[in-house]
Structure 1
Amino acid sequence: MTAIAEPGAVTLSCSDPASLADFYAAATGWQKVFSSESAAYLAGSNGMRMGFVRIEGFEPPSWPEARNRVHLDFSVADLEKAEAELLALGADKPEEQPGEGKWTVLLDPAGYPFCITSMA
């Protein structure tokens, strides 16, 4: 089957695109390829991009209600180490953790939930 389209970017609404891009750049090692007052974009070596767009009056999603929406998943080599490093970067760990130790839910600085899971 011939593809009609390929995913090129995931874009998140937020109140501060530059700082959210900085958080994800530090978390992923991706390079910031564009930044303005209203938007910022990162690019990974795999061709994927992450975008962050300023929305006036942005309201972060609330956890655990947000679990019924789209969220990002990241593979990590060491779950405990990655959690500690992401918390140090500004992520938050909500009390409710549905992964039973298989993955960890964190909230980015804008309040979006994302999951980290061991590659093993």
Structure 2
Amino acid sequence: MALAKLGVVVLDCPDPRALAGFYAEVLGGTVSGEDDWIDLDTPGGHPLAFQAAPNHVPPRWPAPDASQQFHLDLTVDDLDTAEKAVLALGAKPLDTEDRSRSWRVYADPAGHPFCLCAC
């Protein structure tokens, strides 16, 4: 049984609405949201989100020594249970202190950030 299911792939970028519009043209779907966070609901049911990163530096490809600049949002039923499980698997906490939020940020064993998000 899986611990989590993939919620949304989030791309950091300087202009979330513009990048969402690009992907809406490529993939179809409906763009929604405001300001620093824009969602794209695609016809295939695989949502994308675009988060403002004012100092965004585009990734180089191929560049094994440079960030590809995205993170995964993983939807879970229980944040505390999922946190214990991912930490046991080798994740490292990055931003988990505020327990009132519905999400927490970790790094996978290779250092890529991901969020656990409450359903």
TM-score normalised according to structure 2 size: 0.50
- Structure number with higher helix proportion: 1
- Structure number with higher strand proportion: 2
